[in-house]
Amino acid sequence: MSTTLVDRHTDATHKLILASAVDLLEKTSLGEVTVRAVARHAGMSERTVFRYFASRDDFLAAVAAEVARVLGALTPPSTIEALAAYPRVLYPRYEEKAALTKAALHTDLFERMREGVGVERWRAVQSLLDAHAPHRTARDRRLAAANIRYYLAATTWHYFRFYFGFSLQETIDAAETAVGLVIEDIARRP
């Protein structure tokens, strides 16, 4: 089945709208990323944007998905060793797109992104800990997974970097230390 010119134009317009929204997020705040501002930035009418997104909620869901894609949602770790080193892989991604990462921490986008990327990461961490420490209770493993997931979150990267004023390396070291301690603790027999 071949793609028609209309289909390609529709896809290109959809991508342009989302790229314009992401570009504005990197330069301003979520509050300034309105349909009107995105349309203006994309060089089209608001009406055109509304043809692609029926509501603000639909628009924000699509923007959240695009932000996750642009930030390069990484494949969750598949081994306990990879989990221990995951901040070294993850935090530079946050740093690379710091303005966009900070924008993504806004509640309207954060909740939508957490439901996608966050759930996948949560399941991976939980599965690794279940396999790593089957002798511990389900509650212990769930609490350990929650602690690890906290240290893998963009909010924690942001907190270390901008509240504590840590360098990127210090931020990675702090997160790796915390994740390592949780992994070490959960592996011990009760």
CA distance 78 to 131: 11
Q: How many helices (H) and strands (E) does the chain have?
A: 11, 0
CA distance 137 to 186: 10
Instruction: Give me the tens of pLDDT residue by residue for the chain, a chain 190 residues long.
Output: 566 766 666 788 889 999 998 898 888 766 777 888 999 999 999 888 888 888 888 888 888 888 878 876 678 899 999 999 999 999 998 899 888 888 877 767 777 776 766 677 888 999 999 999 999 999 999 999 999 999 998 889 999 999 999 999 999 999 999 999 999 999 987 7
Residues near 95 by Cβ (< 8 Å), separated by ≥ 6? 101, 157, 161, 168
Q: What is the CA radius of gyration of the chain?
A: 20
CB 32 within 8 A of CB 103: no
CA atoms within 13 A on the CB side of 148: 31
CA distance 33 to 40: 11
